[in-house]
């Protein structure tokens, strides 16, 4: 009996040992992102395909996605870096990239990968690529980049006889919104011409920001991050936002508490003809409303035909500086912006091309009416994209601006007083006197 | 050798040790670390130089703190009062019902309490608060629209209080119903025999005997309401104009909207201290009741 047990144990070990050895050779890269590769959204489908192709090309390396809440992901990463438990690959929020770099949490991708591949760098060179460079190091690649602008219903525009390129000034925008606002017989609005959102949220106050940037030449903050929006440009921007609700009555007053997601829900529920949205959300709205129904355009300005500056945004995929698998992680990061992956991001994920070569190759694809938004967003970024100062900690500024907008909407303050209170509150919070 | 005292043995320790370890790991250790972090300057999530109580001065001395504290108090008092009054009425009504009807009413009341907080808050918002929700549609169909409970600071706070009541009503009904059922029927028979009206019987017999369960229930509800972040976050988003930004939501906003981890940790430790006071009250009340019983 004892002999049989020993024999069985030895047999079991012989079978198990090779698989243990194989597992010991397998490397697992932990990836923090807000996308779920098993989800149904376009970008999630793209990520799933990219991961599958990377794993097929790199036997022994597995990518394990740990989905996170996007608002909490970067702060969690910084905490995890301090405790030594950060993931190998992280998608960093653009507003916290400076903090992540200065905290030495991110590895230099030039040393790990790109230094020996200068052609790659040239093909990837754009405002996002440059934004994540510091002192000769490359800290990130940009994924799902985009810009805030006007998401609009192409079918409703056509029905109302409005051409998108006829919206060249703020006055044109208000007129178009008025034409697109529909009411029932008892006077209640059934569809708003232009939906905004003023709830405290990480993304909002886009029309205010566009106005201020346009009037001040891009000076909303000092290079250290001190706010400078309590001025005539700020008052004009705030009045513009509020007048769309109260005077023109083309934006819903309920938006005082809407988050960005509430606004997209309303848009998808056919309650908005236009919305102050982000370009990379168009693909998801098209999944709900139809590919030929949702388009994108930039914000107009007082200068006909010249778009207002607007914040660009991206998720900056980076390698953790203290990870055990930095080489493999850098290869994965580089793969996610490879020509093959970039094509997948565009054709499957509905995101703007990262590479100049992708833009050329997919000209026919981008020319299709349902993909109009990609070209429009790429052009808007090129003409008027604006990045906040990377080294400045400007976190939370939108909260202060939105509260100022809410105060004016509820009649609790004038635009001047509301903006001064918001500016001084923000500056005090960030240690500026 | 097994350690034995009058009421305690090593065997007892073995059984409670896992629970104690979990409490230490998930509650006490983070609280102690949080307190430690709040006494230092955080440099990228790592404690740096010792700063004493200056972080507390900065957070509690900020102009907005008093407003947040007042709103939190209004919210807790409002939500607890409304919940107790509604739960007492429902419990009294359910106590008179029998059979399937009593069961159906109890299930209907307890259901919001049984679903997860986030799901409950989302449901409340979609059905009752959103302008594209069923309730708004019903209101406007009756010609009473338009319906905008979140458009004003006062209506926003009332909506938040209503959502807190809706969510915790089931729990309060269970506790108060148990209290009602523990009152001997003889007392009510005697009151009826003496010619008391139903209101007099309630005021002179039921209510005094329900005092214990009501006090315990109010402390438990206050603790639960103080620590609720999902309701103000999902139902009102803290607005409009921060009129429904209460203490837990303020901590959440500091951490995940403004990335001010220093302020968030400091305020969280302060809130932990308030919770300790409330829990101590709860334990003191229950111990006193046990002694008198």
pLDDT tens by residue, A218-264: 889 988 889 999 999 999 999 999 999 999 999 999 899 888 988 99
Rounded Cα distance between A64 and A89, Å, is: 10
**Stretch B272-280: mean pLDDT:** 91
pLDDT digits (tens, 9 = 90+) for B76-114: 999 999 999 999 999 999 988 888 988 898 888 888 888
**Stretch A66-81: mean pLDDT:** 91
pLDDT digits (tens, 9 = 90+) for B231-270: 999 999 898 899 999 999 999 988 888 888 889 999 999 9
What are residue A134's phi and psi, to 5 degrees?
-155, 125
Question: What are A301's strand-pairing partners?
Answer: A169
CA dihedral B200, B206, B212, B216 (to 10 degrees): -100
Residue B75 tokens, joined: 């919210």
Task: Say whether residue B253 is in contact with chain A using an 8 A CB cutoff.
Answer: yes
pLDDT digits (tens, 9 = 90+) for A251-297: 999 899 888 988 999 999 999 999 999 998 998 899 999 989 999 99
Angle A360-A366-A372 (CA atoms, 0-180°, nearest 5)? Answer: 140
Does the beta-carbon distance from A188 to B145 stay under 8 Å? yes
Categorise residue A411: left if φ over 0, alpha if ψ from -120 to 50, beta otherwise: left
Q: Nearest CA of chain B to the CA of A2: how many Å?
A: 36
What is residue A395's predicted lDDT score, i.e. its pLDDT? 80
Does the beta-carbon distance from B45 to A82 stay under 8 Å? yes
Name the nearest CA neighbour of A157 among A172, A171, A177, A174: A177
* Mean pLDDT estimate for chain A: 91
Residue B124 tokens, joined: 């409340």
What is residue A371's predicted lDDT score, i.e. its pLDDT? 93
Going by DSSP bridges, is the β-strand pair A89-93/A27-33 parallel, antiparallel, or unpaired? parallel
Candidates B148, B152, B237; nearest CB to A200: B237
Does the beta-carbon distance from B240 to A395 stay under 8 Å? no
Residue B56 tokens, joined: 């507390």
Rounded Cα distance between A33 and A73, Å, is: 8
What is residue B1's predicted lDDT score, i.e. its pLDDT? 43
What is the widest separation between alpha-carbon atoms in chain A?
Answer: 93
What is residue B2's predicted lDDT score, i.e. its pLDDT? 44
Task: Say whether residue B256 is in contact with chain A using an 8 A CB cutoff.
Answer: yes
What is residue A47's predicted lDDT score, i.e. its pLDDT? 97
Candidates A78, A254, A271; nearest CB to B151: A254
- Residues B193-218 as b/e (b if ≥16 CB within 10 A, e otherwise) read eeebeeeebbeebbeeebebbbbbbb
Q: Is A40 helix (H, G, I), strand (E, B) or coil?
A: coil
Rounded Cα distance between B77 and B218, Å, is: 9
* Mean pLDDT estimate for chain B: 88
**Stretch A13-24: mean pLDDT:** 54
Q: Which residue of A has its CA nearest to B238?
A: A200
Q: Nearest CA of chain B to the CA of A78: how many Å?
A: 7
Name the nearest CA neighbour of A293 among A325, A317, A313, A268: A268
Rounded Cα distance between B9 and B3, Å, is: 6
Candidates B153, B237, B258; nearest CB to A395: B258
Q: Nearest CA of chain B to the CA of A295: how many Å?
A: 24
Q: Which residue has the higher pLDDT, A373 or B146?
A: A373
Distances (CA, A) of A406 to A229, A419, A427: 16, 11, 19
List the end-to-end C-alpha distance of chain B, in Å, as a whole number.
Answer: 38
Least confident of A395-399, B34-38, B216-220: A395-399
What is residue B292's predicted lDDT score, i.e. its pLDDT? 66
Residue B5 tokens, joined: 């005292």
Rounded Cα distance between A335 and A56, Å, is: 12
Q: Is A31 helix (H, G, I), strand (E, B) or coil?
A: strand
**Stretch B29-35: mean pLDDT:** 91
**Stretch B165-189: mean pLDDT:** 91
pLDDT digits (tens, 9 = 90+) for A166-207: 999 999 999 999 999 999 887 888 999 999 999 877 676 899
Beta strands per DSSP E along chain B:
40-43, 46-50
Q: Most A CBs within 10 Å: which of B239, B244, B261, as the mutation test of the A interface?
A: B239
List of chain A residues whose C-beta atoms are within 8 Å of the C-beta of residue B130: 262
Percent share of chain B, pLDDT over 70 = 96
What is residue A179's predicted lDDT score, i.e. its pLDDT? 97
pLDDT digits (tens, 9 = 90+) for A389-410: 888 878 889 889 999 999 999 9
Rounded Cα distance between A140 and A100, Å, is: 11
Candidates B64, B253, B255; nearest CB to A75: B255
What is residue B119's predicted lDDT score, i.e. its pLDDT? 93
Rounded Cα distance between A424 and A119, Å, is: 47
What is residue A393's predicted lDDT score, i.e. its pLDDT? 79
Residue with tokens 């809407």: A258
Query: If interface means Cβ-Cβ distance under 8 Å, which residues of chain A face chain B?
Result: 71-72, 74-75, 78-79, 81-82, 95-96, 99, 102-103, 105, 188, 198-202, 252-254, 256-259, 262, 265-266, 269, 271, 393, 395-396, 399, 403, 406-407, 409-410, 412, 425, 429
**Stretch A129-138: mean pLDDT:** 92
Question: What are B96's strand-pairing partners?
Answer: none
Does the beta-carbon distance from B257 to A72 stay under 8 Å? no
Q: Is A275 helix (H, G, I), strand (E, B) or coil?
A: strand
* Residue B10 predicted with pLDDT over 80: no
**Do the beta carbons of residue B237 and residue A259 sit within 8 Å?**
yes
**Stretch A28-56: mean pLDDT:** 96
**Do the beta carbons of residue A86 and residue A320 sit within 8 Å?**
yes
A119 Cβ partners below 8 Å, 6+ apart? none
Residue with tokens 């130089």: B49
Does the beta-carbon distance from B253 to A399 stay under 8 Å? yes
Rounded Cα distance between B169 and B103, Å, is: 16
Does the beta-carbon distance from A200 to B257 stay under 8 Å? yes
Work out the burial of residue B65: count CB atoms within 10 Å of its CB; fewer than 13 is exposed, 13-18 middle, 19 or more buried: middle
* Residue B187 predicted with pLDDT over 60: yes
Alpha helices in A196-348 (DSSP H): 206-216, 232-246, 260-268, 282-289, 326-336, 339-347
* Residue B45 predicted with pLDDT over 90: no
What is residue A335's predicted lDDT score, i.e. its pLDDT? 96
* Residue A155 predicted with pLDDT over 60: yes
Percent share of chain A, pLDDT over 90 = 70
List of chain A residues whose C-beta atoms are within 8 Å of the C-beta of residue B145: 188
Q: Is A301 helix (H, G, I), strand (E, B) or coil?
A: strand
Rounded Cα distance between B148 and A212, Å, is: 31
Rounded Cα distance between A328 and A61, Å, is: 8
A148 Cβ partners below 8 Å, 6+ apart? A203, A206, A209, A276, A277, A278, A279, A310, A311, A313
Length of chain A: 433
Q: Nearest CA of chain A to the CA of B148: how many Å?
A: 7
**Stretch B211-237: mean pLDDT:** 92
Residue A19 tokens, joined: 């698989």
Task: Say whether residue B9 is in contact with chain A using an 8 A CB cutoff.
Answer: no
Residue B288's pLDDT band (cuts 50, 70, 90): confident
Rounded Cα distance between A200 and A198, Å, is: 6
What is residue A117's predicted lDDT score, i.e. its pLDDT? 80
Angle A347-A348-A354 (CA atoms, 0-180°, nearest 5)? Answer: 55
Candidates B131, B151, B238; nearest CB to A200: B238
Q: Which residue has the higher pLDDT, A10 or B34?
A: B34
Q: Which residue of A has its CA nearest to B254?
A: A396
Distances (CA, A) of B286 to A195, A200, B283: 53, 41, 5
Question: What are A67's strand-pairing partners?
Answer: A33
Residue A284 CB: number of other CB atoms within 10 A? Answer: 18
B30 Cβ partners below 8 Å, 6+ apart? none
What is residue B44's predicted lDDT score, i.e. its pLDDT? 65
Q: Is the torsion defined by CA of A237, A213, A399, B269 positive or negative?
A: negative
């Amino acid at each position: 009996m004892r002999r049989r047990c020993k024999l069985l144990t030895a047999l079991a070990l012989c079978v198990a040992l090779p698989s243990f050895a194989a597992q010991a050779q397998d490397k697992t890269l932990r990836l923090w992102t807000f996308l779920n590769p098993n989800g149904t959204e376009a970008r999630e489908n793209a990520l799933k395909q990219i991961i599958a192709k990377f794993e097929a090309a790199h036997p022994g390396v597995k990518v394990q996605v740990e989905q996170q809440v996007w608002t909490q992901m970067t702060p969690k990463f910084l905490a995890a870096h301090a405790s030594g438990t950060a993931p190998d690959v992280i998608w960093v929020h653009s507003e916290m990239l400076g903090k992540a770099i200065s905290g030495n949490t991110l590895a230099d991708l030039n040393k790990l990968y790109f230094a020996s591949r200068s052609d790659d760098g040239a093909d990837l060179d754009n405002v996002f690529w440059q934004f994540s460079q510091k002192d000769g190091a490359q800290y990130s690649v940009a994924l799902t980049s985009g810009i805030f602008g006007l998401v609009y219903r192409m079918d409703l525009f056509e029905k109302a006889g409005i051409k998108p390129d006829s919206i060249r000034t703020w006055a044109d925008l208000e007129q178009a919104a008025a034409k697109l606002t529909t009411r029932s017989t008892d006077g209640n609005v059934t569809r708003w011409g232009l939906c905004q959102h003023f709830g405290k949220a990480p993304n909002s106050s886009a029309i205010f920001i566009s106005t201020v940037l346009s009037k001040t030449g891009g000076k909303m903050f000092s290079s250290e991050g001190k706010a400078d929006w309590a001025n005539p440009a700020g008052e004009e921007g705030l009045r513009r936002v509020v007048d769309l609700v109260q005077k023109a009555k083309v934006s819903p007053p309920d938006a005082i508490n809407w988050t960005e997601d509430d606004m997209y829900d309303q848009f998808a529920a056919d309650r908005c003809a236009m919305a102050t949205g982000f370009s990379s959300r168009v693909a998801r709205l098209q999944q709900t409303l139809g590919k030929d129904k949702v388009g994108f355009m930039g914000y107009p300005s007082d200068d006909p035909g010249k778009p207002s500056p607007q914040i660009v945004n991206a998720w900056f995929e980076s390698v953790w500086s203290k990870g055990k698998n930095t080489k493999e992680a850098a290869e994965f990061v580089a793969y996610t912006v490879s020509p093959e992956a970039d094509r997948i991001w565009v054709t499957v994920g509905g995101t703007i091309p990262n590479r100049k070569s992708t833009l050329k190759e997919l000209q026919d694809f981008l020319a299709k009416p349902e993909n109009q938004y990609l070209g429009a967003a790429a052009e808007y970024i090129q003409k008027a994209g604006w990045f906040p100062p990377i080294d400045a900690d400007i976190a939370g500024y939108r909260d202060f601006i939105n509260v100022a907008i809410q105060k004016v909407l509820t009649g609790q303050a004038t635009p001047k007083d509301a903006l001064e209170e918001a500016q001084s509150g923000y500056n005090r919070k960030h240690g500026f006197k | 050798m097994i350690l034995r005292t009058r009421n305690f043995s090593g065997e007892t320790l073995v059984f409670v040790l896992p629970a104690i370890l979990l409490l230490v790991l998930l509650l006490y250790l983070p609280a102690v670390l949080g307190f430690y972090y709040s006494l230092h300057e955080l440099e990228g999530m790592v404690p740096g130089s010792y700063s004493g109580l200056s972080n507390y001065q900065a957070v509690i001395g900020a102009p907005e703190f008093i407003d947040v504290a007042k709103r939190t108090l209004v919210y807790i008092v409002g939500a607890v009062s409304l919940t107790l009054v509604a739960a007492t009425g429902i419990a009294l009504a359910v106590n008179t019902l029998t059979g399937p009807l009593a069961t159906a009413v109890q299930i209907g009341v307890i259901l919001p309490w049984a679903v997860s907080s986030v799901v409950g808050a989302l449901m409340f918002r979609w059905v009752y608060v959103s302008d594209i929700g069923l309730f708004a549609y019903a209101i406007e169909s009756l010609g009473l629209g338009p319906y905008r409970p979140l458009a004003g600071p006062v209506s926003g706070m009332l909506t938040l209080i209503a959502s807190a009541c809706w969510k915790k009503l089931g729990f309060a009904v269970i506790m108060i119903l148990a209290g009602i059922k523990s009152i001997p029927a003889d007392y009510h028979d005697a009151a009826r025999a003496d010619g008391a009206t139903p209101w007099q019987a309630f005021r002179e017999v039921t209510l005094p005997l329900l005092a214990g369960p009501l006090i315990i229930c109010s402390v438990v509800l206050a603790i639960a309401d103080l620590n609720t972040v999902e309701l103000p976050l999902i139902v009102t988003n803290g607005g409009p104009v921060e009129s429904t930004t209460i203490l837990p939501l303020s901590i959440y906003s500091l951490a995940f909207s403004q990335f001010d981890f220093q302020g968030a940790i400091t305020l969280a430790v302060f809130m932990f201290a308030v919770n300790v006071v409330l829990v101590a009250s709860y334990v003191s009340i229950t111990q006193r009741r046990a002694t008198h019983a």
